Structure 1
Amino acid sequence: MFSTDCFSQKPETETKASNKHSIGAFISHTYINQGRIDGELKRLSAPSLGLNYNYIFNDKWSFGLHNDIIIESFIVESANSEEEFIERELPFSTILVGTYKITESLGVAAGAGVEWEKNANFTVVRLGVEYGLELEKESLEVLFVFNYDVLVNAYNSFNFGIGINKFFR
């Protein structure tokens, strides 16, 4: 009688952390509470596009460059004065953002950057939440995002968006 030990080996699977980079494209709507239409204070809704790059450190942390453009011109009331108005033409923001994954799908984000526009540039502070549905075989993720942006000495906005994220090694 011979006795043999059998060992099974689990096949190596790719995790999200083994994908060190991701690029995402988003379509969203940005809402601005201090908007002005025909001299009246109204909430504005403007379409926006986003393009994000992230470096993934591990399953919990990533750091990236998030870029957004509001594809509409608008006028807002300044946060400093009800008599002062700020005209914005296709503002483009670039924000350095850190993201922490609370669960495999749910993450929170925070960062700071600049909103660029020909009339005036403003510092931006962003807080956000994202929820991703991963398509593992394709290294893709459908991402739903909510961001709240504070433009220092200007106005505040929030946006809801949906996008697709591609993971790379």
Structure 2
Amino acid sequence: MRHYCTQMGIAALLLLFALPSFAQHDDGQAEAQGHNQKIINRHSIFPHLRAAAFISHTFIPGVAEGSRFAIPSYGLDIEYWFDETWGVGLHNDIELESFIIEGEQEEFLERDFPLVSSLDLLFKPWKGLAFQIGPGVEIDKHETFLLFRLGVEYEIELGHHWDLYPTFFYDTREDSYTTFSIGLGVGKRF
């Protein structure tokens, strides 16, 4: 009987010491679940993908006589935002006319509905203000140019992850002409 009581006493002491560790495990598990819930909630509130379409006018200094200075263009952007501040975007636009650029040595460069595509780093320092910077390419049937893009836009939230945004960007082509564009677009986050 004495041996049985000793075993029961030891078992009771072990159980007494083990209960707080079980409770800590449960508290830690609940805390981890709460942390995971916060992560899930944050991701459900902040959609990382954004698609946008815009219409703009591309201003082309140095166009030859008879060509227009401002050319209408349409664009489509696909962006991935890592968080509320940093992202990357594939920005594409097509200029909707043929035009001729007069070069510095009086040579002429013909462009037919060129497609411009850039891969940009995105930075949003304050509310809806976003800056973009990155390399790109302009393609048409005559010649392809590498370019570098700088841009700024301001997203105005419309609700349900929709936004309206005015945009301005400047493109400089390698060993060729420069353009700047002003436009208005609509975007949706997913």
Q: TM-score normalised to the size of structure 2?
A: 0.75
Instruction: Indicate the structure whose relative CO is greater, using CA pairs within 8 Å and at least 6 residues apart.
Output: 1
Q: Which amino acid aligns with 2:61?
A: N
SS at match of 2:64: strand
2:99 corresponds to 1:77: no
Correspondence for 1:37 among 49, 55, 65: 65
Alpha-carbon distance in 2 for matches of 1:132, 1:64: 15
**What is the CA deviation profile of residues 44-83 of structure 1, one whole-angstrom value per residue up to 9, with x for unaligned ones?**
10000000000010110110100010001100122xx331
Percent identical pairs in the alignment equals: 38
Q: Which has the higher strand share?
A: 1
Alpha-carbon distance in 2 for matches of 1:163, 1:26: 4
Q: Assess if the C-alpha contact under 8 Å between 1:33 and 1:43 holds in 2.
A: no
SS at match of 1:35: coil
2:85 corresponds to 1:60: yes
Alpha-carbon distance in 2 for matches of 1:26, 1:89: 20
2:73 corresponds to 1:48: yes
Give the equivalent residue in structure 2 for 1:128.
151
Gaps of at least 5 residues in structure 1 are 1-11
Give the equivalent residue in structure 1 for 2:16.
none
Q: Which has the higher helix share?
A: 2
Alpha-carbon distance in 2 for matches of 1:56, 1:140: 15
Q: Which amino acid aligns with 1:107?
A: A
Deviation at 1:84, TM superposition (A): 1.2
Correspondence for 1:19 among 42, 47, 50: 47
Question: Using a 3 Å threshold, how does the CA distance of structure 1 residues 152 and 43 change in structure 2: closer, same or farther?
Answer: farther
Q: Which amino acid aligns with 2:69?
A: L
State the 4+ residue runs in structure 1 displaced beyond 6 angstroms: 12-17
**What is the CA deviation profile of residues 123-159 of structure 1, one whole-angstrom value per residue up to 9, with x for unaligned ones?**
01000011110123x2101011000000111100000
Aligned-pair Cα RMSD in Å: 1.9
Give the equivalent residue in structure 1 for 2:184.
162
Q: Which has the larger radius of gyration?
A: 2
Alpha-carbon distance in 2 for matches of 1:44, 1:82: 20
Q: TM-score normalised to the size of structure 1?
A: 0.84
Q: Assess if the C-alpha contact under 8 Å between 2:91 and 2:119 holds in 1.
A: yes
